[in-house]
Amino acid sequence: MKLTRLRIEQLRQFRAPFEIRDFAPGLNLFSGPNEAGKSTLVAAIRAAFFERHRSGAVDDLRPWGDSAAAPTVELDFELGGQPCRLVKSFLARKRCELRIGTQGLDGAEAEDRLAELLGFQHAGKGASKAEHWGIPGLLWIQQGAAQELREAVGHATDHLRSALEASLGEVAASGGDDLLASVQAQRSELLTEAGGRPRGPYKDALEREAALAATLGGLDAAIAHYRQRVDALASLRRAHAADELEQPWVDCRRRQHEAAERLQAIQAQQDSLAAEGQRAEAAERRAALLRSQLEAWAREDQALAARAAAQAEALAARDAAAAPLAHWQARQEGAARELDAARAALRQARQQHARAQLARDAAAAAARAQACARQLAEAAGAREALLAVQRAAAASAIPAAELKTLRTLERQLAEVHIQRDAAATRLAWVLQADCALRLGEATLSGSGEIRLTAPASLELPGLGRLEIAPGGGSDLATLDARGDELADRRRTLLARLGLPDLAAAEARELEHSRLQQQLAAAQATLQALAPQGVDALGAEHAALQARADELARALADAGGEGAGDGGDKVSAAGPAPTAGDTPPLSVDQAEAAEQAAAHTLAAIQGERHRAQLAAADAASRLDAATRELAAARALCADPVRAARIAQSSAELTDALAERKALGARIEALQQHIAAARPDILQQDVERFRATAEELETQHRVRRDQLMRLEVELQTEGAQGLEERRAECARDHAQAARRAGELRRRAAALDLLLGLLQDKRRALTRRLQAPLQKHLNRYLQLLFPQASLEIDENLTPGPLTRGVESGDFEQLSFGAREQMGVISRLAYADLLAEAGRPTLIILDDALVHSDAERLAQMKRVLFDAATRHQILLFTCHPANWRDLGVAARSIDDLRAGAAQ
């Protein structure tokens, strides 16, 4: 395509017609300052091709303020060897005329033809946009857009391919990219771009199918479970019915009861065994009792023998004890005699002593009386009465101490008598009239009673003699002795007092008291009648006389002969005939002798007493033994006892026999019980009971289970599981069908897309080769040793310079601009080879290139201009001075046109 003439009118600042003729077939350089109209010229060319003449979106072409303008572009060009003219008016006068050679076209037809020839599209509505521009969009570089290559190539690719197919043969497909896009879009609905995984409706269908399959599986499981339980229900019912019919627990209960009864029977036997055991024990106890009884009786017999022996022993002991007694008896008698002699001697000694004392007193008293009498003679007279009284009083006076002693003696003596009476052996007798017994010296006849204080011998005429020994022998002897002593002392005292007995003493005491009173009265009279001294003398005389008299009397009473004989000579007529040779003993000596004899006697008496006691003891033992022996004999001799012994023996035999019989029965019972195994029976009872209970429970549980299962199944049956499953299966089948269809569709689309892409890629590779060739031609001029790859969209890819490699976009702005230009030139070469029209327009391009690069680019452009017409508009004409063509100034051209 070669532009030969351009004419514009009523277009922006070109209100007046403006024409450029004689375009060169190669390079055409137009220069002008800003606002000169360079871009308006480019815009006019673009509008002439791209915009429909009827478009209302071309107001920018209208001159400012001229609403009636009809912007007109008139182009003469040569296309495919034929001269063509395009005349296009907009807005006020919408017109499009095209003449190709001799063929003339009008309006839209003309516009469509142009688009087809040049490889672009018209906008359906509104202003034409980059996506419609196709090949011209690629080759007509707008101001400042040289570097924006990829988009322009993208819009042109399809046109490039179809345009190039002539040179490449019938390999390109018309509308291939649309088809591809359509297939890709359809595939994208079903599969992801990247991994080819299901998406959209395909994914939904798969998911729905899977979900329904899961639901179906669940329902199948539920139905299987339901069916299983229906079967379980049937078997439960059968088992239940069989149970109802057979009632197996009844048999178990019966067997349990049987076992229990047997167990009870055994337990009864066990009870009787216990009873028999008790009876055996009772028999045992009875036998033991009887045995002990018999043993007791045997012990009694033994005791009898022992008693007899004991009695014999006691007898011997008594005999043995009797011998010392006789010995001590004799000794005692001797001692008693000696004591008696000692006492007689003492008594004599005391009498003599008293007599001597009395004699001395009497003599003294007589002397004193005589002396006093003389004095008294002188005081006779009036005191006669007093004296008489005094005499009388004196005569009756008894010393109080002596009286007291006497009394004491008397009382003690009486007590001794009483004690002796009490201790004496009482012997009473009643004899036949003609009989008499001799007791000692006495003869006993008739009846009477005597108390024996000493052993006595009782002669039983014709029979023998009874020796009677009073029990309290020593006491009696003591008492006798004491009584004798007391009697001696009393006798002595009485003798000294000159009184016969105590009664006389008492009487004289009473008399004396009376006389004392008289004397007091007489003394008072004498005192009154006579002064004292004489009276006292008289009294003294009287007293002395009286005393002397008294003493004389006493002496006379005591042994007057002695006194009479002159005193100191002891009379041979004394009580102790043996004492004749012995000198009279002093009182002390006598007392000592008496005491010694008493002691001897006492000692002998003690021994005798002991012997006596031993004898008595032996005798009493003998008595006891004798009694016991008698008792034992009596016991053993009891005829009842013999009968009882015999009876007990018989009973013992019976008890033992019973015990034995019971033992046999107990053993039999034990064996029987052991054979019956009550423990096992108990276990049987337990086992049958447990079994029956288990069976009953099982029956009950089964019944409950049945009811529960029935209710469950009824409930679940009402849910229509299988119908739901059928519905689900239907839905699932449909979903599976849909998923299958989509799968097939996806597979078909995938296959188709793959194939289309493969084929397209192969085609692209075939297109790339010549483009690469043209591109490299220019590239070597600009960047020696560099290489640029072309991708499948025919856009420049990474640029490799030596070891460096980088994408087009990463180059500097200037480099990109340069690459954009050479790429377009390469496309133009490609199109030219395919016989397609090429026109290259550069509007103020390469302004960012440095001088060196610009110089290279000028070489490139000059080279390209040998194959293509190039229109280059610039505001820097100096930069292009060495391009090889002269720059034409727009302003000059306008001036020329105006002329």
Judged by the rule CB under 8 A, the positions of this chain that interact with other proteins are: 165, 170-176, 178-179, 182-183, 223, 226-227, 229-231, 233-234, 236-237, 709-710, 713-714, 716-723, 725-727, 729-734, 744-745, 747-752, 755-756, 759-760, 762-763
Closest CA to 65 of 26, 15, 119: 15
Q: Pick the closer one to other proteins by CB: 537 or 771.
A: 771
Distance in Å, CB of 109 to other proteins, minimum: 17
Q: Pick the closer one to other proteins by CB: 300 or 731.
A: 731
Look at residue 849 and give its three-state secondary structure. Answer: coil
Q: Pick the closer one to other proteins by CB: 38 or 725.
A: 725
Distance in Å, CB of 221 to other proteins, minimum: 14
Distance in Å, CB of 685 to other proteins, minimum: 38
Q: Pick the closer one to other proteins by CB: 763 or 860.
A: 763
| Angle value at C-alpha 788, between 783 and 790, nearest 5 degrees | 155
Backbone angles phi, psi at 591, to 5 degrees: -65, -40
CA–CA separation, 75 vs 53, rounded Å?
14
CA–CA separation, 275 vs 259, rounded Å?
24
Q: Pick the closer one to other proteins by CB: 171 or 436.
A: 171
Distance in Å, CB of 244 to other proteins, minimum: 16
Which bin fits 808, alpha (ψ -120 to 50), beta or left (φ > 0)?
alpha
Q: Pick the closer one to other proteins by CB: 227 or 299.
A: 227
Q: Pick the closer one to other proteins by CB: 116 or 384.
A: 116
CA–CA separation, 7 vs 831, rounded Å?
27
Q: Pick the closer one to other proteins by CB: 309 or 733.
A: 733
Distance in Å, CB of 193 to other proteins, minimum: 18
Distance in Å, CB of 238 to other proteins, minimum: 9
Distance in Å, CB of 766 to other proteins, minimum: 10
Exposure b/e, 416-453, CB count within 10 A at least 16 = b: beebbeebbbebeeeeeeeeebebeeeebeeeeebebb
Cβ neighbours, 10 Å, residue 206: 18
Which bin fits 107, alpha (ψ -120 to 50), beta or left (φ > 0)?
left
Distance in Å, CB of 98 to other proteins, minimum: 23
Which bin fits 532, alpha (ψ -120 to 50), beta or left (φ > 0)?
beta
Rg (CA), the chain: 97
Cβ neighbours, 10 Å, residue 728: 20
Backbone angles phi, psi at 843, to 5 degrees: -100, 105
Q: Pick the closer one to other proteins by CB: 67 or 235.
A: 235
Backbone angles phi, psi at 728, to 5 degrees: -65, -40
898 with 40: CB under 8 angstroms?
no
CA–CA separation, 232 vs 230, rounded Å?
5
**Can you read off the two tokens belonging to residue 847?**
């302004």
Give the type of residue at 170: E
Distance in Å, CB of 721 to other proteins, minimum: 4
Distance in Å, CB of 810 to other proteins, minimum: 33
CA–CA separation, 409 vs 418, rounded Å?
14
Distance in Å, CB of 762 to other proteins, minimum: 7
Torsion of CA 473, 478, 482, 485, to 10 degrees: 100
> Given strand 796-801, what is the order of strands in its sheet?
786-790, 796-801, 804-806
Distance in Å, CB of 137 to other proteins, minimum: 23
Backbone angles phi, psi at 570, to 5 degrees: -85, 130
Q: Pick the closer one to other proteins by CB: 476 or 767.
A: 767
CA–CA separation, 202 vs 748, rounded Å?
13
CA–CA separation, 742 vs 749, rounded Å?
10
Distance in Å, CB of 8 to other proteins, minimum: 36
CA–CA separation, 870 vs 862, rounded Å?
9
**Can you read off the two tokens belonging to residue 447?**
């009846």
Distance in Å, CB of 269 to other proteins, minimum: 53
Look at residue 158 and give its three-state secondary structure. Answer: helix
Q: Pick the closer one to other proteins by CB: 173 or 832.
A: 173
DSSP-assigned letters across all residues of 739-755: HHHHHHHHHHHHHHHHH
Distance in Å, CB of 64 to other proteins, minimum: 43
Give the type of residue at 441: E
What are 745-748's contacts with CB under 8 Å, separation 24+?
745/190, 745/202, 746/187, 746/190, 746/191, 746/198, 746/202
Distance in Å, CB of 96 to other proteins, minimum: 23
Cβ partners under 8 Å of residue 151, min gap 6: 130
